[in-house]
Amino acid sequence: MSYNKLDDQSISLFFGAIANPKRFRILVTLNERGPMCVSQLEELLGIEQSDLSHNLQCLLNCRFVNREQRGKEKVYSLNEDMKVLVDSINSHIEAYDRYIKSCEIVNDKNLVKGVDNGKLSNLA
C-alpha cells in the first residue's frame, strides 16, 4: 500500500499509539524478554499497575500485543507482525538519537510533550 492510499488520520493514530514512551518501552520489553504478566512488567519498567494496565489495553486494542490467560495471570506477548517494526524503530532511535535531539523543530516544547531534557515525565 502506498502513502497516497493512507489517510493522514490513520498515519497519525498508528504512530501516536507507539509514540507514547511508556507504550514503546512495553513493546521493546516484550520483544526482548518474551511473554510477561502485568506484575513482571510493572517491576521491570517501574510503571504503576493502573497506568501499565491502561497502556497494555491500548496496545491490545490496537492488536500490537496479544493476551493469554494462564491460570490466574494474564500474560502479554508482542504480536509477531510488530517484532520487526519494534526492532527497526529501536535501532533507528539509537542511530538517529543525537540528530533528533539537536533538531529545534522536533524539540519545540509544543511538539514534544512529557519530555524534559531527554527524560520522560509521568505520561499516561
pTM to 2 decimal places: 0.79
- Band (pLDDT 50/70/90 cuts) for residue 109 is low
Average pLDDT rounded to a whole number, residues 45-69: 97
Q: What are the tens digits of pLDDT across the range 57-68?
A: 999 999 999 999
Domain ranges of the chain: 3-113
The pLDDT of residue 118 = 46
Range of weakest confidence among 33-37, 73-77, 101-105: 101-105
Q: Are 76 and 36 contacting, i.e. CB atoms less than 8 angstroms apart?
A: yes
Domain 3-113 has CATH 1.10.10.10: yes
Average pLDDT rounded to a whole number, residues 31-40: 97
- Band (pLDDT 50/70/90 cuts) for residue 37 is very high
- Band (pLDDT 50/70/90 cuts) for residue 71 is very high
Q: What are the tens digits of pLDDT across the range 110-120?
A: 555 555 444 44
- CA dist 42 to 31, 46, 52, 61, Å? 16, 5, 7, 20
Integer Cα distance of 6 and 116 in angstroms: 32
**Residue whose C-alpha cell reads 502506498 in the numeric block:** 2
